[in-house]
Protein backbone atom coordinates (compact mmCIF):
# COMPACT_ATOMS: atom_id res chain seq x y z
CA UNK A 1 0.00 0.00 0.00
CA UNK A 2 1.36 3.41 -1.00
CA UNK A 3 1.82 6.15 1.52
CA UNK A 4 -0.25 9.31 1.06
CA UNK A 5 2.86 11.41 1.73
CA UNK A 6 4.94 9.58 -0.87
CA UNK A 7 6.48 11.83 -3.50
CA UNK A 8 4.79 11.18 -6.85
CA UNK A 9 6.87 9.72 -9.65
CA UNK A 10 7.64 11.71 -12.79
CA UNK A 11 4.97 9.67 -14.61
CA UNK A 12 2.35 10.49 -11.97
CA UNK A 13 3.23 14.21 -12.06
CA UNK A 14 2.85 14.24 -15.83
CA UNK A 15 -0.53 12.52 -15.68
CA UNK A 16 -1.80 15.00 -13.08
CA UNK A 17 -1.18 18.04 -15.25
CA UNK A 18 -2.23 17.07 -18.74
CA UNK A 19 -3.87 20.40 -19.51
CA UNK A 20 -1.50 22.81 -21.20
CA UNK A 21 -2.15 26.53 -21.52
CA UNK A 22 -0.03 28.50 -23.98
CA UNK A 23 -0.10 32.28 -24.09
CA UNK A 24 1.33 33.94 -27.19
CA UNK A 25 1.90 37.64 -26.67
CA UNK A 26 3.95 40.66 -27.65
CA UNK A 27 4.84 43.64 -25.52
CA UNK A 28 2.41 46.42 -26.29
CA UNK A 29 3.70 49.70 -27.56
CA UNK A 30 3.39 52.78 -25.38
CA UNK A 31 0.47 54.54 -27.09
CA UNK A 32 -0.46 58.03 -26.01
CA UNK A 33 -4.09 58.52 -24.91
CA UNK A 34 -4.73 54.79 -24.80
CA UNK A 35 -6.36 53.47 -21.64
CA UNK A 36 -4.17 50.33 -21.41
CA UNK A 37 -0.47 49.82 -21.76
CA UNK A 38 1.12 46.43 -21.73
CA UNK A 39 -0.13 42.92 -21.24
CA UNK A 40 1.42 42.19 -17.84
CA UNK A 41 -1.92 42.21 -16.01
CA UNK A 42 -3.54 39.88 -18.58
CA UNK A 43 -0.61 37.49 -18.38
CA UNK A 44 -0.64 37.59 -14.58
CA UNK A 45 -4.39 36.82 -14.50
CA UNK A 46 -4.09 33.91 -16.95
CA UNK A 47 -1.15 32.46 -15.01
CA UNK A 48 -3.02 32.78 -11.68
CA UNK A 49 -6.20 31.14 -12.99
CA UNK A 50 -4.63 28.30 -14.93
CA UNK A 51 -1.28 27.55 -13.29
CA UNK A 52 -1.98 28.39 -9.67
CA UNK A 53 -5.71 27.71 -9.25
CA UNK A 54 -6.24 24.96 -11.84
CA UNK A 55 -2.77 23.33 -11.68
CA UNK A 56 -2.33 23.38 -15.44
CA UNK A 57 1.01 23.45 -17.22
CA UNK A 58 1.58 27.04 -18.32
CA UNK A 59 3.81 28.21 -21.14
CA UNK A 60 4.33 31.46 -22.95
CA UNK A 61 5.85 32.62 -26.18
CA UNK A 62 6.73 36.29 -25.88
CA UNK A 63 7.74 38.59 -28.72
CA UNK A 64 8.16 35.78 -31.23
CA UNK A 65 7.79 36.10 -34.95
CA UNK A 66 5.40 33.94 -36.97
CA UNK A 67 8.07 31.37 -37.88
CA UNK A 68 9.09 30.87 -34.23
CA UNK A 69 5.47 30.43 -33.14
CA UNK A 70 4.63 27.98 -35.93
CA UNK A 71 7.93 26.15 -35.39
CA UNK A 72 7.11 25.61 -31.73
CA UNK A 73 3.49 24.62 -32.35
CA UNK A 74 4.48 22.10 -35.03
CA UNK A 75 7.16 20.35 -32.96
CA UNK A 76 6.15 17.81 -30.31
CA UNK A 77 9.65 17.97 -28.82
CA UNK A 78 9.61 21.78 -28.52
CA UNK A 79 6.16 21.75 -26.91
CA UNK A 80 7.15 19.10 -24.39
CA UNK A 81 10.31 21.06 -23.55
CA UNK A 82 8.24 24.26 -23.13
CA UNK A 83 5.72 22.66 -20.77
CA UNK A 84 8.01 20.17 -19.03
CA UNK A 85 11.44 21.85 -18.91
CA UNK A 86 12.67 20.10 -15.76
CA UNK A 87 11.51 16.55 -16.14
CA UNK A 88 11.52 13.67 -18.56
CA UNK A 89 7.83 13.71 -19.42
CA UNK A 90 6.72 12.15 -22.69
CA UNK A 91 2.98 12.71 -22.22
CA UNK A 92 1.08 14.97 -24.56
CA UNK A 93 -1.85 16.98 -23.17
CA UNK A 94 -5.42 15.84 -22.98
CA UNK A 95 -6.50 19.49 -23.27
CA UNK A 96 -4.56 22.27 -24.97
CA UNK A 97 -5.65 25.91 -24.69
CA UNK A 98 -4.03 28.79 -26.53
CA UNK A 99 -4.49 32.48 -25.84
CA UNK A 100 -3.17 35.26 -28.04
CA UNK A 101 -2.95 38.68 -26.43
CA UNK A 102 -2.68 41.81 -28.52
CA UNK A 103 -3.56 45.44 -28.06
CA UNK A 104 -6.30 45.35 -30.74
CA UNK A 105 -5.11 48.62 -32.21
CA UNK A 106 -4.34 49.05 -35.87
CA UNK A 107 -1.52 51.59 -35.82
CA UNK A 108 -1.96 52.31 -39.53
CA UNK A 109 -5.53 53.49 -39.22
CA UNK A 110 -6.08 57.10 -38.09
CA UNK A 111 -8.23 57.42 -35.00
Each residue's pLDDT tens digit, 22-45: 999 877 665 566 666 667 888 899
Statement: residue 101 has pLDDT above 80: no
CA 57 from chain centre, in angstroms, equals 8
Beta bridge partners of 23: 60, 99
pLDDT band of residue 72 (cuts 50, 70, 90) is very high
Question: What is this structure's pTM?
Answer: 0.69
Shortest CA distance to 24 belongs to which of 74, 77, 80, 65?
65
Amino acid sequence: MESINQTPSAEQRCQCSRTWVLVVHNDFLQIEDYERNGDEKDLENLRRVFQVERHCRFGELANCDKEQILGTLSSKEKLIKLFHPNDDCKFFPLIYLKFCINNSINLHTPR
